[in-house]
């Protein structure tokens, strides 16, 4: 090696070393921040006074546990049946409207469940359209008939199923498309009917993907606050909020958060275990399974089964909300609503940029160092998705409020200066909560893109003199731009819909569209709540359109 080459190698090595250490340090800081609310909830729950918790244990704690568990079970069963059944029909059968329904089945994912709750309360509640027309036609009084109560645990479960089944549908559909026709045709040649072949062959092969989708819906269910709060269903999520604001007891809120956190982490471990086994479930796709043309009653039955979730989860709510909005007194073009929209877009945009940047750092750290520390950092960063926003809010406010108060007391005692609350009630702490909550989605998009980038490209970049940061900035990011933009858009819309963390942590007088919708619905001003709800749904259509395009591209 010549002297100039040796000199170049020696000058390049420190650059790589420093850049590598910088990325590792930043990634570990992000992982530590993601771990902070979990540890904070644990410590606050252990040192907090248990008087309120004992009172809750004797009154409503049992209801919290039963209702939360019942919701998880009902939503899991409902999303499994609708998502798997619809995925099988549009993938394996041919019937009128199949191509349109194949895309439309994804769209209800754009709406948060609490928006559907507002719409169906307006339609089905006692003073609503359906019961009012029924009384007018029959002449019945309020006590002369029985009608299902929408404000109930069952009603909340239906709302959640209608917006969450697309998780199962998308994963199940991808699994069915990826299956070879050989095993299915073998079952048919042995005398199995199409339904029997589906149950004995196709469904078991798709089980890991379907289970992953169902577990995702369960995680979203325990994180829901807006729907159960509006319907008056007492769950851990509502208990945390009531303890924080109603009883002004942070210790009780932390203790309830700890119980919900344990449940969420259990679901996260189940999802991770299932994801680890999923790779062994399906073989390579060989022959495409020919769609079975449906005729007669089967044709109409398939149309109804696939069209009903779209009708209930999209068409009826949009029509109801639109009618409600036209009769509301909310002025969408007023300065007040301009502020709601600006606040929502600002929070969502900043959170999307910060979260995707954190995903790039953590992903690059894991790619550079395939060690247990890197794997642990990724695992810690991912589990935030399984943790409800209310739990993250409690876990962040407790330590940062203690820090703010201690710093203020020290500055007053030594310098007679009040620092006030530097972190508590700030936008940046709220952005941190969003980062923890939605980092898993950004990491999934990053890893999906980086898997297609050969490590030889990294080596070539290093030979050409780029350090780690330069490789990430000038090579990885340009190659991953579509994946990163998708991740940013998903985080953006998830932040728009997030309610409990925003309610607890938002700065004073800093309201968003989600908060405005919740506030109006809490005051039973459902017509007014329809306006911000429609805006949230309209913005939520953006990532769903991307998913729909992906579904269209990967049609069988």
- pLDDT band at 453; cut points 50, 70, 90: confident
Q: What number is the average pLDDT over the span 370-394? A: 82
pLDDT of residue 59: 80
180 pLDDT above the threshold of 60: yes
Which of the two residues, 70 and 220, has the higher pLDDT score? 70
292-293 and 93-94: which strand pairing?
parallel
Indicate the Cα dihedral angle 462, 467, 469, 472, nearest 10°.
Answer: -10
Which of the two residues, 475 and 515, has the higher pLDDT score? 515
392 pLDDT above the threshold of 60: yes
∠ Cα 268 239 166 (to 5°): 45
Q: Which of 93-97, 164-168, 444-448 has the lowest mean pLDDT?
A: 444-448
- pLDDT band at 320; cut points 50, 70, 90: very high
Distance CA 489, CA 356 (A): 10
- pLDDT band at 547; cut points 50, 70, 90: low
pLDDT of residue 146: 84
Long-range contacts of residues 288-293, Cβ cutoff 8 Å, at least 24 apart: 288/181, 288/556, 289/92, 289/179, 289/180, 289/181, 289/184, 289/185, 289/556, 290/181, 291/91, 291/92, 291/93, 291/94, 291/556, 292/92, 292/93, 292/94, 292/194, 293/93, 293/94, 293/95
Indicate the fold that domain 18-39+333-511 takes in CATH. Answer: MetI-like fold (1.10.3720)
**What is the residue extent of each domain of the chain?**
18-39+333-511
449 pLDDT above the threshold of 80: no
306 pLDDT above the threshold of 80: yes
What digits encode the pLDDT tens for the residues 3-48? 544 444 444 455 555 666 778 888 899 999 999 988 888 888 888 7
Q: What number is the average pLDDT over the span 135-162? A: 88
What digits encode the pLDDT tens for the residues 323-342? 998 888 777 778 888 899 99
Distance CA 246, CA 161 (A): 29
What digits encode the pLDDT tens for the residues 396-415? 988 898 888 888 888 888 88
- Distance between alpha carbon 348 and the CA centroid of its chain, in Å? 14
- pLDDT band at 440; cut points 50, 70, 90: confident
Tokens of 324: 């409600």
282 pLDDT above the threshold of 50: no
pLDDT of residue 275: 57
pLDDT of residue 76: 93
pLDDT of residue 295: 80
pLDDT of residue 19: 64
Distance CA 364, CA 446 (A): 10
Q: Considering the chain, what is the average pLDDT of its residues?
A: 82
- pLDDT band at 1; cut points 50, 70, 90: very low
pLDDT of residue 7: 47
Q: What number is the average pLDDT over the span 443-454? A: 75
pLDDT of residue 378: 84
Q: What number is the average pLDDT over the span 172-195? A: 71
Q: Which of 259, 241, 238 is nearest to 249 (CA)?
A: 241
Q: Which of 506, 539, 493, 500 is nearest to 518 (CA)?
A: 500
Q: What number is the average pLDDT over the span 70-91? A: 93
- pLDDT band at 277; cut points 50, 70, 90: low
Q: Which of 74-88, 360-374, 500-514 has the lowest mean pLDDT?
A: 360-374
pLDDT of residue 11: 47
How much helix, strand and coil, in percent to the nearest 5, is found in the chain? 80, 0, 20
C-alpha distances (whole Å) from 339 to each of 78, 145, 279, 322 are 38, 45, 47, 22
- pTM value is 0.82
pLDDT of residue 41: 85
pLDDT of residue 154: 94
280 pLDDT above the threshold of 50: no
Q: What number is the average pLDDT over the span 252-267? A: 79
């Amino acid at each position: 090696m010549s002297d100039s080459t040796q000199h170049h190698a020696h000058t390049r090595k420190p650059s790589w070393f420093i850049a590598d250490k910088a990325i590792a340090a930043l990634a570990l800081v992000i992982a530590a921040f993601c771990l902070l609310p979990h540890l904070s909830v644990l410590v606050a729950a252990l040192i907090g006074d248990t008087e309120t918790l004992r009172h809750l244990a004797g009154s409503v704690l049992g209801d919290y546990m039963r209702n939360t568990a019942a919701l998880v079970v009902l939503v899991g069963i409902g999303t499994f049946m609708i998502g798997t059944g619809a995925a099988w029909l549009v993938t394996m059968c041919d019937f009128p409207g199949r191509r349109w329904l194949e895309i439309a089945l994804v769209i209800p994912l754009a709406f948060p469940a609490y928006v559907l709750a507002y719409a169906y309360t307006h339609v089905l509640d006692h003073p609503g359209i359906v019961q009012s027309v029924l009384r007018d036609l029959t002449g019945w009084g309020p006590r002369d008939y029985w009608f299902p109560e929408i404000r109930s645990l069952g009603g909340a479960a239906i709302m959640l199923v209608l917006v969450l089944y697309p998780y199962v549908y998308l994963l199940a559909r991808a699994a069915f498309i990826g299956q070879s026709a050989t095993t299915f045709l073998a079952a048919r040649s042995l005398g199995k009917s199409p339904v029997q072949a589906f149950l004995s062959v196709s469904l078991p092969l798709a089980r890991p993907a379907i289970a992953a989708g169902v577990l995702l819906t369960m995680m979203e269910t325990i994180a829901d606050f807006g729907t159960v709060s509006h319907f008056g269903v007492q769950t851990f999520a509502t208990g945390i909020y009531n303890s924080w604001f109603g009883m002004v007891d942070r210790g009780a809120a932390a203790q309830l958060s700890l119980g919900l956190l344990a449940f969420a982490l259990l679901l996260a471990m189940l999802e991770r275990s299932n994801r680890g086994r999923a790779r062994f479930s399906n073989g390579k796709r060989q022959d495409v399974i020919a769609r079975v043309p449906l005729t007669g009653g089967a044709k109409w039955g398939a149309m109804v089964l696939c069209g009903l979730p779209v009708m209930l989860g999209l068409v009826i709510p949009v029509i109801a909300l639109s009618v409600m909005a036209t009769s509301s007194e909310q002025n969408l073009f007023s300065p007040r609503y301009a502020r709601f929209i600006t606040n929502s877009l600002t929070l969502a945009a900043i959170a999307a940029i910060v979260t995707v940047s954190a995903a790039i750092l953590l992903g690059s750290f894991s790619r550079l160092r395939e060690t247990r520390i890197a794997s642990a950092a990724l695992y810690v960063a991912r589990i935030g998705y399984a943790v409800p926003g209310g739990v993250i809010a409690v876990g962040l406010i407790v330590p940062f409020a203690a820090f703010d108060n201690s710093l203020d007391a020290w500055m007053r005692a030594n310098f007679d200066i009040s620092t006030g609350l530097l972190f508590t009630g700030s936008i940046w702490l709220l952005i941190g909560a969003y980062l923890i909550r939605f980092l898993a989605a950004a990491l999934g998009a990053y890893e999906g893109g980086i898997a297609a980038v050969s490590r030889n490209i990294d080596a070539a970049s290093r030979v050409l003199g780029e350090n780690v940061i330069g490789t990430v900035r000038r090579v990885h990011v340009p190659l991953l731009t579509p994946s990163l933009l998708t991740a940013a858009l998903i985080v953006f819309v998830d932040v728009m819909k997030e309610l409990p963390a925003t309610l607890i942590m938002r700065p004073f007088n800093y309201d968003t569209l989600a908060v405005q919708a919740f506030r109006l619905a809490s005051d039973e001003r459902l017509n007014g709540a329809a306006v911000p709800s429609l805006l949230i749904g309209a913005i939520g259509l953006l990532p769903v359109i991307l998913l729909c395009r992906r579904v269209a591209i990967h049609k069988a």
